[in-house]
Chain A
Amino acid sequence: MRGLVLLAGAVASATMACAADGVVNIHDPSTIAISGGKYYVYGTGGGSLVSDDGWTWRTGVAPSRRGLAPDVIHIGDRYYMDVAANIGAQPKAAVNMIWSKTLDPESKDYKWEEGGVVASSDGVEDSNAIDPGVLLDSTDGRLWLVYGSYFGYIRLVELDPKTGKRLRANDVPKNLAINSEASILIQHDGWYYLLLTHGSCCRGADSGYNIRMGRSRKVTGPYLDRTGLDMLQGGGSLFIGSGGRFIGAGHFGLLDEGNGVQKFSMHWEADLEKGGASVLDIRPLLWRDGWPVAGENLKEGTYEIESVRTGTALEMAVEGMPVGGRRGRGPGGPGRGPGGLPPGGPPPGAGRGGPPPGAGRGGGMFAGTGVPIPAQDVAQVSVNWPTGTVDVRMANYLLQSQQKWTISPAPNAGGYPGAPYYRIRLAGTERTLAAVEGGELAVLPGFTGAPEQLWRIEQLPDSNWRIESKAGSMALSAVGASFATLSKFDAASDKQRWLLKTP
């Protein structure tokens, strides 16, 4: 199992994620909220983005309060937004709550109501009451607010889940961490996780922002990092830092898609592809050894698509040709022509009972050709492939052309949180993997952009991949060792878990 995880991780590290599409400029983004089927995220200074699919974003409408680093949570029929403001010289600040029945400005129910101050700092105490983060405890329904920024502690207070207001105004806030900001709590497997940001913000490509974490069995702490260091003493294990073309990671927000699939939102202080602008990103949230791990959205590339369940690889159902051509097992060895052996190859079992002919003398089946064997050329081996629609099956991976798939974003096809829909085609060809009638699979001779040819590819919490058809939301499923189909995703099964390996 460990080997599997490491391998999948290695693959992931070879792929670089893309930030979201469209207008994604935002700083200190809130947790993403879904209202009326649309995705909403809010940032510092009234920043607001909205998306129909979670991939392509556009500028939204600013809420009634334009403060610092808001957070949003949906409870019952209300969306609560906690948003901070400096109310004097730092660290004098307050977190105000506002609420609305919808986030859709076009709705008749869209109206932000004032909910009052839920936390504050007086400018003297060791706290700076900004950067709120909210958790509705899934175990007991209690509502918690964490806040704070560098001047002292990250603090915890309890809110009333019925109103979003402070539950007991006179309760002394509980200190959870120090020397950090942009904190938020999440839960997993009986643990509470405190994610927060270390380093400096707001310096573009010079921002040292990075997201750190600790965990506790109680919401009130203590929160220890992976080394056992208390976050009240500066502890915090790295969750995600700068990488690829992105600098300065901050403001974690959980986006739970359900059915065991989780993602997280954050901002980069500087996206080098966008001139160093601060941008939104959404990535898979993985779990390993009881700790959250930042996953990657898939990058265009050529992959072997291997079933976690069966260990066999997806292939177009055509006769495979061994890499380098068919070779004999006898003294004649290599070089028996492109076809090599007659159909059927050597008698199965032949040569198993004793040393191969020529072994140790520089010849025979184990000696090789003496020169490097190039990768299989699809143009050569595809000469005899059928020209129309071809079945899909699975087989042991042998590095053959019908087993290598190029996965690339489908242009103008939309997406889902964090990634675009992809096209999957046989490498070096236009042959396209598609869903066909009856929830089955086939390889079509070309690509038209129809939903049946578009794939939603997401990393699951265990780092494996789910590959789901846009048509009908059915997932690629290894129902047999030699056969793949489409079926409803089952988070408890390995059938729909795939490794994407670089071939």
Chain B
Amino acid sequence: MRTERVRGFVLALVLAASGVAAVSWPTLTSVVSREKVVGLDGFIPRWVLLEPIAANGLTDAAVQAAVKKEYFPNQFSVIPHDGDKVQVAGADLKWRAVDTKSYNVNLFHFARALDKPTSDVLFWAVTVVYSPKEVPNARLAIGSNAASVWWVNGKEVIGIYGDRQTVIDDGVSRRLTLQKGANVIRVAVVNGGGATDFCARFLDADDKPVKGLTVNLADPVQ
């Protein structure tokens, strides 16, 4: 416990030194601990979110085109850190590590607090989930407002399309193996207008949330 507090303090100092301004979100908080335990409901609570990129269209084809377009280098492999910046269409966009207070990650809150657009935009989000053991026959189960495309360890596993609201376990991947140690989850959420958010968790072979997972955004040891 004492060690965790010290880590948090050190992280806070690092954040301050990095020049990342504190932002107040209704449902999100800045990351102050090294590791976050995934709760019993399985929802992944910690993500690194990129400030929104302009995007249009929610049909299958439009979303696939939007998420496959290369906006910044190593788009499908980078594991960003809080405060990292990328340049997209001449603008500097910042990655921000957040914890969510709820089952979902509210992208509308995220962008609005930063005075960024929330409509006709694309959000990239990345997280690294650690599993204490290999979990075969697992599934990534997600919901998003609106469309989203998901990758687990570099492989595209889910795409849901159209103007839709976030429903828990809306899109579910085919069976996959959650590997022991680090698993990189990457998502692109495309929003048309109004609210925008997402949620994600891993289900086991019995469709129950996988237990014992943690999230750690430090560079993963594969």
Interface residues in chain A, defined as those with a beta carbon under 8 Å from any beta carbon in chain B: 318-319, 342-345, 347-350, 395, 438-440, 479-483, 485, 487, 495
Query: Is B170 part of the contact surface with A, judged by Cβ < 8 Å?
Result: yes
Q: Which chain A residue has the least Cβ–Cβ distance from B120? A: A347
Residues of A within 8 A of B192 (CB): 344, 347-349
Query: A479 touching B59 by the CB < 8 A rule?
Result: no
Please state if A482 and B58 are interface contacts (CB–CB under 8 Å). no
CA distance A350 to B160 in the complex (A): 21
Chain B residues 152 to 179 lying within 8 A of chain A, measured CB to CB, are 158, 160, 162-163, 167, 169-175
Instruction: A344-B57, A348-B58, A483-B158 are known; give 10 further A-B pairs, CB within 8 A.
Output: A344-B59, A347-B120, A348-B146, A348-B192, A348-B193, A348-B194, A350-B193, A480-B170, A481-B171, A495-B207
Residue from B58, B163, B173, B174 with most neighbouring chain A CB atoms (10 Å) = B174
| Chain B residues, CB < 8 A from A342 | 57
**Of B56, B58, B171, which contacts A483 at CB under 8 A?**
B171
User: In the complex where A345-B59, A348-B194, A349-B194 touch, is A479 in contact with B146 (Cβ < 8 A)?
Assistant: no
Chain B contact residue count (CB 8 A cutoff) = 29
Question: Closest Cβ of chain B: how far from A445's Cβ, in Å?
Answer: 20
**With a CB–CB cut-off of 8 A, which chain A residues contact B158?**
483
Q: Is the CB of A479 within 8 A of B207?
A: yes
Q: Do B61 and A481 touch across chains, with their CB atoms under 8 A apart?
A: no
Give the distance to chain B from A353, nearest Cβ to Cβ, in Å: 11
Q: Are the C-beta atoms of B193 and A479 separated by less than 8 Å?
A: no
**Distance, CA A343 to CA B57, complexed state (A):** 6
Asked if B139 lies at the interface with its beta carbon under 8 angstroms from chain A, I say yes
Asked if B141 is at the interface of the complex by the 8 Å CB criterion, the answer is: yes
Residues of A within 8 A of B170 (CB): 480-482
Taking a contact as CB atoms under 8 Å apart, the answer to whether B120 and A481 are in contact is no
Given contacts A319-B61, A485-B172, contact A347 B141 (CB under 8 A): no
Q: Are A343 and B172 closer than 8 Å at their CB atoms?
A: no
Q: Which residues of B contact A349 (CB under 8 A)?
A: 119, 192-194
* Binding site secondary structure of chain B: loop
Contact of A481 among B59, B169, B173, B194 (CB under 8 A): B169
Per a CB cutoff under 8 Å, which of A395, A440, A480, A481 touches B175? A440
B62 interface residue per 8 A CB criterion: yes
A294 to B172, CA, bound (A): 36
Q: Of residues 125 to 171 in B, which have CB atoms within 8 Å of A's CB atoms?
A: 139, 141, 146, 158, 160, 162-163, 167, 169-171
* A483 touching B172, Cβ below 8 Å: yes
- Which residues of chain B are near A319, meaning CB under 8 Å? 59-61
Partner of A480, one of B58, B172, B194: B172
- Min CB–CB distance B98 → chain A (angstroms): 25
A-B contact pairs, 20 of them (CB 8 A): A342-B57, A343-B59, A343-B62, A344-B57, A344-B62, A344-B192, A345-B59, A347-B192, A348-B163, A348-B192, A348-B194, A438-B174, A479-B172, A480-B171, A481-B170, A481-B171, A482-B170, A482-B171, A485-B174, A495-B207
Complex interface bits, B57-95 against A, C-beta within 8 A gives 1, otherwise 0: 111111000000000000000000000000000000000
* A440 CB contacts on chain B under 8 angstroms: 174-175
Which A residues are in CB contact (< 8 Å) with B193?
347-350
Residues in B whose Cβ lies below 8 Å from that of A495: 207
Question: With a CB–CB cut-off of 8 A, which chain A residues contact B207?
Answer: 479, 487, 495
Q: Whole-angstrom distance between the alpha carbons of A495 and B139 in the complex? A: 16
Task: Please name all residues of chain A whose beta carbon is closer than 8 Å to the beta carbon of B174 when the two chains form the complex.
Answer: 438, 440, 485
Could you tell me the distance between the alpha carbons of A398 and B38 in the complex, rounded to whole angstroms?
37
A480 and B59 contact, Cβ closer than 8 Å, known pairs A349-B194, A350-B193: no
Task: Give bound CA distance, A105 to B91, whole Å.
Answer: 84
Cβ contact within 8 Å between A343 and B61? yes
A480 to B141, CA, bound (A): 8
In the complex, which residues of chain A have a beta carbon less than 8 angstroms from the beta carbon of B62? 343-344
Q: Can you name the residue of chain B whose Cβ is closest to the Cβ of A342? A: B57
A481 and B160 CA atoms in complex are apart in Å by 11
Inter-chain contacts of B58 with A (CB < 8 A): 344-345, 348
Task: Quote the shortest CB–CB distance from A344 to chain B (angstroms).
Answer: 3
Residue numbers in A under 8 Å from B175 (CB-CB): 438-440, 485
Write out the residue numbers on chain A whose beta carbons fall within 8 Å of the beta carbon of B61. Answer: 319, 343
Complex CA gap A482/B144 in Å reads 12
C-alpha spacing A342/B62, complex, angstroms: 10
Q: Which residue of A lies closest to B141 (CB)?
A: A480
Tell me the nearest residue of chain B to A350, going by C-beta.
Answer: B193
Chain B residues near A479: list those with CB within 8 A. Answer: 139, 141, 169, 172, 203, 207
Which chain B residue has the least Cβ–Cβ distance from A493?
A: B207
C-alpha gap A485/B192 in the complex (Å) = 29
Contact with A along B19-49 (1 / 0, CB 8 A): 0000000000000000000000000000000
Q: How far is B55's CA from A348's CA once the two chains are assembled, in angstroms?
A: 13
* Residues of B contacting A487 in the complex (Cβ-Cβ under 8 angstroms): 207
Residues in chain A near residue B146, CB distance under 8 A:
348
Chain B residue contacts of A395, Cβ below 8 A:
162
Q: Which residues of A contact B172 (CB under 8 A)?
A: 479-480, 482-483, 485
